[in-house]
Amino acid sequence: MCEILVTGASGHVGRHVFASLSAAGVPVRGLSGKDVDLLDPVRLDGVETVFLVWPTPNAERAAPVIELIARHARRVVFLSTHTHGFHADIERLIEHSGPSWTFLRTGGLAADTLALADQVRSGVVRRPYGMARRSLIHERDVAAVATHVLASAGHGGVRYALTGPEALTQVEQVRVLGEAVGREVRWEELAPEVARPDLLRAWGDEEYVDAELKAWGEFADSPEPVTNTVRVLTGREPRSFREWARDHADAFR
């Protein structure tokens, strides 16, 4: 029986995709981000469609992985972004590999703010570009779109831009997180060059850090767009960041 392979099946988005497909009776197997090794062809036996969540902040191993996927699968749905060059590199590899493809390009994931948990608990968040305005999306909304695309036809060659329902500044995001945990959390603005070493220690990849800082700077000047893609594809409005913060409040307490 042809199956869907969900990579990153234990991650923020992948676990919801896997659960939704399983609940719908769709043949699916999962591969967690911790043991993902798509260079093992056995993992692709019987797989028709791959939901690809790239596990590292660079595209160093992408070419042989995409080549192997193309030899087994007929369709690839790739969880991408519009802010990182390595995602664009992987998109190009997929486009030229042969299988039908669909790209789910998210803006900021609301779950990315989990990296602020320690600072929220301390009462002060120190980062640059507090006025960067992002349309953060709940991982459940990304998963709902992914599940719809994976379980239906007609999405080949489409790049879907996925966002939350509103664009909030980073200062506003921190205020919402504080409200969710019932206390005031203050924003302290840092210069990008001051924040960069801490971000590099947290994320471990210079290209990734520089891409984030560049994007934040751009979103301070021009807010990240808001799209209606989630509503069009799923029939429901995307969840707000305030709803996400309530769902994950325990992580910040």
Q: Cα-flanking dihedrals φ and ψ of residue 115, to 5°?
A: -65, -15
CB atoms within 10 A of CB 197: 10
What domains are there in the chain, each with its CATH number?
A: 3-252 (3.40.50.720)
The single-letter DSSP state of residue 111 is G
- CA atoms of 39 and 22, how far apart (whole Å): 25
pLDDT tens for each residue of the chain, 253 residues long: 579 999 999 999 999 999 999 999 999 999 986 545 677 788 899 999 999 999 887 888 899 999 999 999 999 999 999 878 889 999 999 999 999 999 999 989 999 999 999 999 999 999 999 999 999 999 999 999 999 999 999 999 999 999 999 999 999 999 999 999 999 999 999 999 999 999 999 888 898 899 899 999 999 999 999 999 999 999 999 999 999 999 999 999 9
Residues forming beta bridges with residue 51, ordered by sequence position: 6, 77
